[in-house]
A and B are shown apart, each in its own frame.
Chain A
Amino acid sequence: AQSVTQLGSHVSVSEGALVLLRCNYSSSVPPYLFWYVQYPNQGLQLLLKYTTGATLVKGINGFEAEFKKSETSFHLTKPSAHMSDAAEYFCAVTGLAAGNKLTFGGGTRVLVKP
Chain B
Amino acid sequence: GAVVSQHPSWVICKSGTSVKIECRSLDFQATTMFWYRQFPKQSLMLMATSNEGSKATYEQGVEKDKFLINHASLTLSTLTVTSAHPEDSSFYICSASVPSSGANVLTFGAGSRLTVL
Contact = CB atoms under 8 A, between A and B. Distances in A.
Do these two chains really belong together in a complex? Answer: yes
Contact of B111 (A43, A90, A103): A43
Given A32-B103, A104-B43, A41 B111 contact: yes
Nearest to B59: A101
B103 A104 contact: no
A83 interface: no
Interface in B87-117: 91, 93, 95, 97, 102-111, 113
Interface in A80-114: 90, 94, 98-107, 109
A32 B97 CA distance: 14
A43 B109 contact: yes
A103 to B, nearest CB: 8
Contacts of B34: 100-102
Interface string B44-55: 111001000000
Contact of B103 (A43, A51, A105): A51
A44 interface: yes
B60 interface: no
A45 B110 CA distance: 9
Contacts of A105: 43
Contacts of A32: 103-104
B60 to A, nearest CB: 12
Nearest to B107: A46
Nearest to A105: B43
Contacts of B44: 44, 90, 102, 104
A25 to B, nearest CB: 14
Interface in B41-72: 41-46, 49
A36 B109 CA distance: 13
A49 B105 contact: yes
Given A43-B108, A43-B111, A44-B108, A100 B43 contact: no
Given A101-B46, A107-B42, 4 more contacts: A41-B111, A43-B108, A51-B104, A101-B49
